[in-house]
């Protein structure tokens, strides 16, 4: 996969030289190029922003440096058949999830456009649609100062799904969100620590029991912390023991979906 990032703070992306993503780059599994937006300006002050039409606080990023930068990056796409995906991090974008990370990990080329200030002139998005599949993306319902931190998160989430990047691909299967649930709790040695014992089932050597305990812990955790995820969970084929586990948590299976019982206690809605 090839990734290009355009930013007024290229140094912000330096952490992508470290750890698993840095290693993936060294190993040739991922090509990542960072471009300075100001290199695509033509004035003496290398201006990238201006006041907003219609008034209001803050500054808006000027369209022409973005068009120059993105045209240069698009041209570098060479003979690629499909349009590269242009991801524009923004709190006004669609939500970036693990499913999005999987989807984007299947692309050959991704380009990230890091906005700052109040955002990028909207006409850039219309123009860019001729060369890219444009996808404004939000990390979550909060506001960052710019797209760079969001790009660090998205590139890590996508990059670790590329073949060969994570040493043991099995660890990708049993992690939070891989099956629409949160991950079960994990423990390591010693088995007793400060008067706290590792759950006995994990020391039992009974792999069937361990797998069931872990699954039920996923249900418990998800019901407690992220009940919204259970609305999407496919409960149609759950074995009886799992239905019982959900019943204990206050959920019935109705038409293949989990429904919280009206009389169930706790805070979960």
Provide the binding-site residues for ligand ADE, judged by CB under 6 A. Answer: 89-91, 138-140, 142-144, 147, 150
Q: CB of residue 220 vs ligand ADE: minimum separation in angstroms?
A: 29
Under a CB-based contact definition with an 8 Å cutoff, are residues 50 and 60 in contact?
A: yes
* Position with the least CB separation from ligand ADE: 89
Under a CB-based contact definition with an 8 Å cutoff, are residues 15 and 152 in contact?
A: yes
Cα–chain center distance at 194: 36
- Nearer to ligand ADE by Cβ, of 7 and 90: the residue is 90
* Dihedral over Cα of 255, 256, 262, 263: its sign: positive
- Nearer to ligand ADE by Cβ, of 150 and 235: the residue is 150
CA distance 50 to 130: 25
* Dihedral over Cα of 196, 200, 203, 207: its sign: negative
- Nearer to ligand ADE by Cβ, of 5 and 235: the residue is 5
What Cα–Cα distance (Å) separates residue 42 from each residue in 34, 35, 113, 137, 228?
19, 16, 19, 29, 49
Q: CB of residue 135 vs ligand ADE: minimum separation in angstroms?
A: 12
- Nearer to ligand ADE by Cβ, of 140 and 185: the residue is 140
Q: CB of residue 114 vs ligand ADE: minimum separation in angstroms?
A: 8
Q: CB of residue 83 vs ligand ADE: minimum separation in angstroms?
A: 22
- Nearer to ligand ADE by Cβ, of 56 and 167: the residue is 56
Q: CB of residue 246 vs ligand ADE: minimum separation in angstroms?
A: 33
Under a CB-based contact definition with an 8 Å cutoff, are residues 238 and 253 in contact?
A: yes
């Amino acid at each position: 996969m090839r990734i290009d990032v355009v930013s007024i703070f290229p140094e912000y992306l330096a952490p992508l030289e470290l750890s698993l993503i840095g290693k993936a780059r060294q190993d040739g599994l991922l090509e990542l190029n960072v471009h300075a937006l100001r290199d695509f300006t033509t004035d003496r002050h290398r201006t990238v922003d201006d006041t907003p039409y219609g008034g209001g606080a803050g500054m808006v990023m000027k369209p022409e440096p973005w068009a120059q930068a993105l045209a240069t990056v698009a041209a570098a796409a060479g003979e690629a058949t499909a349009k590269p995906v242009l991801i524009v991090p923004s709190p006004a974008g669609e939500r970036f999830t693990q499913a999005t990370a999987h989807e984007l990990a299947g692309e050959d080329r991704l380009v990230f456009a890091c906005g700052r200030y109040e955002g990028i002139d909207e006409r850039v998005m219309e123009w860019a649609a001729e060369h890219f599949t444009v996808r404004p993306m939000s990390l979550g319902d909060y506001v960052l100062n710019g797209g760079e931190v969001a790009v660090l998160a998205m590139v890590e989430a996508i990059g670790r799904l590329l073949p060969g990047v994570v040493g043991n691909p099995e660890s990708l299967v049993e992690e939070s969100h891989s099956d629409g649930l949160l991950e079960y709790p994990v423990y390591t040695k010693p088995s007793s620590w400060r008067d706290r014992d590792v759950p006995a089932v994990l020391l039992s050597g009974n792999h069937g029991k361990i797998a069931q305990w872990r699954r039920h812990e996923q249900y418990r955790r998800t019901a407690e912390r992220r009940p919204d995820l259970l609305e999407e969970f496919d409960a149609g084929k759950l074995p009886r023991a799992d239905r019982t586990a959900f019943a204990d948590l206050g959920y019935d299976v109705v038409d293949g979906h989990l429904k919280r019982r009206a009389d169930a206690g706790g805070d979960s809605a």
